[in-house]
Amino acid sequence: MQQSFVKSEGDVREASLILEGIVCAACVWLNERHILQLPGVISAEINFSTHRARVRWDESRIQLSRILHAVQEIGYLAYPFDTNRQEELFRKERNTAIRRLAIAGLGMMQVMMYAVPVYLADAGTMTDDIQALLRFASLMLTTPVVFYSAWPFFQGAWRDLKLKRAGMDVPVALGVGAAYAASIYGTLTGSAEVYFDSVTMFVFFLLTGRFLEMSARKRSAEAAESLVKLIPAAAQRLPGWPATREEETVAAVKLTPGDHLLVGPGDSFPADGTVVDGESSVDESLLTGESHPVDKHAGLEVIGGTMNLSSPLVVRVDKVGADTVLSGIVRLLDRALSEKPRLAMAADRVASWFVLALLVVAVLVAATWYWIDPSRAFWITVSVLVVSCPCALALATPAALTASLGRLTRMGLLSTRGHALETLAKATDFVFDKTGTLTTGEFRLVHVDCLRGNREEALAVAAALEKGATHPVAKALREASCAGHAEASEVRNMPGQGVTGQVAGRAYRLGSPMFVAPDTSAPPAPGMTLLALADDAGVVAWFGLGDELRPQARRLIDDLKTLGVRVHLYSGDRHDNVAALAATLGIADARGGMLPEDKLDAVKVLQADGAVVAMTGDGVNDAPVLAQAQVSVAVDQGAEAAQAAADMILLSSELSRLADGVRIARKTQAVIQQNLAWSALYNFAAIPAAALGYVTPWMAGIGMSLSSLLVVLNAMRLSGQRDRFGSNGTPGGVELPAPPNASKKR
């Protein structure tokens, strides 16, 4: 069962779960802390917007069933992630919320009908029995509002108190419970004020705010959920292929590698595979953000979740379940959504201490007003408890991050780390690799100069040495070789330099001229990447490979400069090739012939001078420098080592998405700061106003609900379906400041 949602790496397991019962950011904090206390749990991160949890544990120390049981012990339910289950859970939560809201609304309206005559009647015109009747009627109508509509607040408060902590439901439950209890006392004795109208209005407005907030969070998380829904539920399997094309319908989860499928026009591929028959075009826009279809024919790979457009294809299944590209993307996105940046962690810490401080303030306010005017002390204290719940503070960062990460995912720029957006917004310097990053990386053999032997023999040796390598240079050499497949042994890869190995009993070296033949003058090869093949007797052949500039490379560099970002080009290619490309793109700092350690040292120098470096690369040799940079981007076609070290992955071939990412990252930081500033300003203004008696409990309920809703709506501005950039190159035309140190002279 775990194969569908658990990823294994030795004894370490990673699972994606759904949590039921999450209603506020405090619930997230509570579950994360409780799970992390379990022996054997390595990490636990929960996304408040999607209610999805990412948990990693040591299988030799704890089992998944124990983790699920631990969640249940504190009043929540955890399930293995499933798209249908998530939709069912959301519908259930939404329907329950509507019912609670309806009861609260009806109760509020009726109670206000009974309260208005009391407010408007002149002194002495309403008899005691009529007033008592109105109070008892209000009590009957308020009771279901308190014990049904407001019940989640009492549940959350009781759960928090059992665990000896003060969550956000504690002040709300205290306010509602105290006002209701005091109103009952006043009704039974006829000697005190009643607050039934305030209680019902407060509950109604608070539930309204939470319902709207829940709907907004659902919309902001749609990008992440849409990826999971791409895989179809069923597939057309060809059990007798190639002898027969007889079809059978099977569940997609039952497919295994080696199965053959028939995918018709308009259908999505249920798994990763390879086309074995047919020609068609495929829509990969939901994964890469690119609108143009991609041609597919026999021998080419297809990705599960993409859509076949024009003609039927027969596909051999290569990867299923958690091993597919789409599952990997979803796991990375989950990690980015669940990991908390520094601002979010700081806000969580402030919110947890804020509740304790609020309770102390409420006690002081109650004591002060009891000394000044005992008749006003109670409802003023209730107003203080209600008006200052720090929900908006806790929502400020996760709401904005969820919206912006969803937008970037639709664009084809996938964030894999929680800090990526925060750091990208502060980037002052962008460092680019050349081959496969600013250029297409689709090399083709342009020239061969054989010093010994013939062309076919030299290419056969080169292809043998590069067999199994994923670098574009290796692919070009293999495609150019028409001779029979030679076998190489003792092959060693030297990142950034080349390879060595034995072919037909002879030792060969293939790679850069400085690595293969440092004492030999390389022939001129303007605009080409030059490789040398040598044996113990010297150079056997020179290979010249051509590479094309990516169509949007120049636009990207210009956009980054407009944003105040300095651009650098660090490449292992020859100096003259790098210089030619830099001149074309207008990059001042361009260096060629760099080994991986040279790139690493150059980035460290930039960082030592105060730069926040964003590194973009694609090869194995880029992995160390990607890890060193404050934020790093790997292109999707690159090596797995580069992607593993990167904080973001560019799924699209459109390089300009990187500049769009910088714009959105900066706007995200601006929105987060706006949200935090609003939350702080609201509390600084609302608490003194309530303490001075200017805010009634029902007004406090409206204020608290509107503050949370305003934060979520402000964050939703980041989740626009289309990128509309103003004349200054920023989203919506908003003028954003340049990052720190952007104008610093070196």
Per-residue pLDDT at 4: 61
- The band of 251, judged by pLDDT with boundaries at 50, 70 and 90, is confident
What pLDDT is recorded for position 357? 77
Question: Is-above-0.85 flag for pTM?
Answer: no
Q: What is the tens place of the pLDDT at every residue in 151-176?
A: 988 887 787 777 776 666 777 787 78
Give the pLDDT band of residue 2 (cuts 50, 70, 90). Answer: low
Cα→Cα distances 464→80, 469, 507, Å: 45, 10, 12
Q: Is 433 in the active site?
A: yes
Catalytic residue among 169, 283, 429, 433: 433
With bands split at pLDDT 50, 70 and 90, how would you rate the model's confidence at 741? very low
Question: How far does the chain reach from its first CA to its final CA, in angstroms?
Answer: 58
For residues 393 and 350, is the Cβ–Cβ distance under 8 A?
yes
Question: What pLDDT is recorded for position 99?
Answer: 93
Residue 141 has pLDDT above 90, yes or no: yes
Percentage of the chain modeled with pLDDT above 90: 6
Tell me if 633 sits within 8 A of 615, measured CB to CB.
yes
CB distance 216 to 402 below 8 Å? no
Res. 361 pLDDT band, cuts 50 70 90:
confident
Distances (CA, A) of 579 to 239, 430, 572, 589, 598: 56, 17, 12, 9, 17
**Residue 723: per-residue pLDDT:** 42
- 254 burial via Cβ count (<10 Å: 0-12, 13-18, 19+): exposed
pLDDT of 148 > 90? The answer is yes
Q: In this predicted structure, which of 34-43, 406-415, 614-623, 636-645 has the lowest mean pLDDT?
A: 636-645
For range 131-159, the mean pLDDT: 88
Distance CA 680, CA 409 (A): 31
Residue with tokens 């397991």: 13
Q: Is 627 exposed, middle or buried (0-12, 13-18, 19+ CB in 10 A)?
A: middle
Query: Nearest-CA neighbor of 214 among 20, 380, 24, 31?
Result: 24
Question: In this structure, which amino acid lies at residue 741?
Answer: N
Q: Does residue 644 register a pLDDT over 60?
A: no
Helix ranges, 309-431 (H):
325-338, 342-372, 374-387, 391-411, 420-425
Q: Rounded mean pLDDT of 420-443?
A: 82
pLDDT above 70 for 351? no
202 three-state secondary structure: helix
Least confident of 48-57, 69-78, 530-539, 720-729: 720-729
Q: What is the pLDDT of residue 146?
A: 92
Structure letter (DSSP) for residue 648: E
User: 639 pLDDT exceeds 50?
Assistant: no
The pLDDT tens digits for 659-672 are 888 999 899 888 88
Closest CA to 411 of 660, 665, 49, 670: 660
Domains of the chain in sequence order: 2-81 (3.30.70.100), 90-224+337-399 (no CATH), 234-323 (2.70.150.10), 404-439+549-659 (3.40.50.1000), 444-546 (3.40.1110.10)
pLDDT attached to residue 350:
64
Q: 278 versus 405: which is more confidently predicted?
A: 278
Instruction: Let me know how many helices (H) and strands (E) the chain has, helices first.
Output: 24, 27
pLDDT at 458: 87
The pLDDT of residue 721:
44
Helix (H) or strand (E) holding 613: strand 613-617
Q: What does the mean pLDDT of the chain come to?
A: 78
pLDDT above 90 for 126: no
pLDDT at position 732 is: 38
